[in-house]
Amino acid sequence: MKTIRFIIVVLLAQFVFHKTTAQESDQLVRMAKLVIDSTHLEAYKAFLKEEIETSLRVEPGVLTLYAVSEKERPNHITILEIYKDMNAYRYHVQTPHFLKYKNGTLHMVKSLDLIETEPLMPEVKLIQRD
Amino acid sequence: MKTIRFIIVVLLAQFVFHKTTAQESDQLVRMAKLVIDSTHLEAYKAFLKEEIETSLRVEPGVLTLYAVSEKERPNHITILEIYKDMNAYRYHVQTPHFLKYKNGTLHMVKSLDLIETEPLMPEVKLIQRD
């Protein structure tokens, strides 16, 4: 256990001091805005949750996937997506877990709007503090 | 410098092993959507950048501030904001750096829409992988 902690701490130390200049220039930062058929909202969320969990676990090129639903319009979903580069995104959209989500939810999605964005501070890694 | 690195590593180690159950229930997760007067866009971005950098540096209750601009509509800004709880938010909006941003950009902001949200997976910390 101590060894594992040590390895994680070392990795985190590297993650803190590692320069990401190259990565920034290639990153894809996008907001996916979806409107879901309310009658399928819980089923949709289950598909999305599984897809995000699997992507973050098995795809190093998926840097961030973070989904929120609006409190006043719970069937309005926004997903903040950060991919390492275009190749990471091309890989992502043909993975079995993405296709399972995509095909499994097609009939639940009333609209999908993909908004390509530029981060205000690409040099600052997105992080949620403890 | 070594001391600073050590402190950061220790903090990161705690951040990894600390359970955040209590925090999740109180968190405020919000999207601020702004439309900026294009003639003031660069000045607005400078104000926002300074405000975000200062908030993340001096306010432990500000867990995430991440701003993007749309590629097709660069004056459309979205800020993902995560506060530890309502008190952290109340504290944030009366800090000198927030008030400097707010008052300094009032004439640049054509519209501001604050969208309260629920994260799909509150138990998963938002993080951008290296």
pLDDT digits (tens, 9 = 90+) for B45-59: 999 999 999 999 999
Domain membership flag for residue A22: no
Map tokens 């290639």 to a residue: A26
Cβ–Cβ of B125/A121 closer than 8 Å?
Answer: no
| C-alpha distances out from residue B86 to A54, A75, A98, B115, Å | 32, 24, 36, 15
Residue A19, both tokens: 């320069």
In a domain, B121, yes or no: no
ipTM score here? Answer: 0.79
User: Considering the domain boundaries, does residue B35 fall inside one?
Assistant: yes
Q: Would you state the pLDDT for residue A20?
A: 45
**pLDDT at residue B25, rounded to an integer:** 61
Q: B45 is in which domain, residue-wise?
A: 2-17+27-116
| Nearest CA among B34, B129, B31 for reference residue A27 | B129
Asked if the Cβ–Cβ distance from B9 to A13 is below 8 Å, we say yes
B16, B67, B82: residue with CB nearest A128: B82
User: Which one of B31, B71, B126 has the shortest CB-CB distance to A78?
Assistant: B31
What angle is formed at CA B17 by the lines to CA B54 and CA B12, rounded to 5 degrees? 35
- Examine the pLDDT at B63 and tell me if it is beyond 60: yes
In a domain, A77, yes or no: yes
B60 occurs within a structural domain: yes
Interchain CB distance below 8 Å, B68 and A117: yes
* B48 → chain A, closest CA residue: A120
Residue B78: which of A5, A31, A121 has the nearest Cβ? A31
For B62-90, b/e burial (b = at least 16 CB within 10 A) is: bbbbbbbbbeeeebbbbbbbbbbbeebbe
Residue B40 exposed, middle or buried by CB count within 10 Å (0-12, 13-18, 19+) = middle
**One-letter amino acid for residue B22 of the chain:** A
Mean pLDDT score of chain B: 87
Cβ distance of B63 and A128 shorter than 8 Å: yes
Residues in chain A: 130
A125 occurs within a structural domain: no
Q: How far, CA to CA in Å, does B6 sit from each of A10, B44, B51, B130?
A: 11, 36, 27, 20
Single-letter code of the amino acid located at B123: E
- Look at chain B and report how many structural domains it folds into: 1
pLDDT under 50 in chain A at which residues?
16-24
Q: What is the pTM of this model?
A: 0.80
CA B123 to chain A, closest CA, distance in angstroms equals 12
Q: Which residues of B touch A1 (CB under 8 A)?
A: none
Contact A76, A33 (CB under 8 A): yes
Cβ–Cβ < 8 Å for B71, B12: no
Q: Which of B23, B115, B130 sits opposite A20 (nearest CB)?
A: B130
Q: What is the pLDDT of residue A127?
A: 72
Q: How far apart are CA B105 and CA B112, in angstroms?
A: 12
CB under 8 A, 24+ apart: contacts of B6-11: B8/A13, B8/A16, B9/A9, B9/A12, B9/A13, B9/A16
Residue B61 sits in a domain of what CATH number? Answer: 3.30.70.100
User: Which H helix or E strand runs over B42?
Assistant: helix B41-58
CA distance A15 to A113: 32
Q: Which tens digit of pLDDT belongs to each residue from A68-101?
A: 999 999 999 999 999 999 999 999 999 999 999 9
- For tokens 């205000």, the residue is A120
Average pLDDT over residues B28-47: 98
A122 assigned to some structural domain: no
Give B18's pLDDT tier (boundaries 50, 70, 90).
Answer: very low
In a domain, B126, yes or no: no
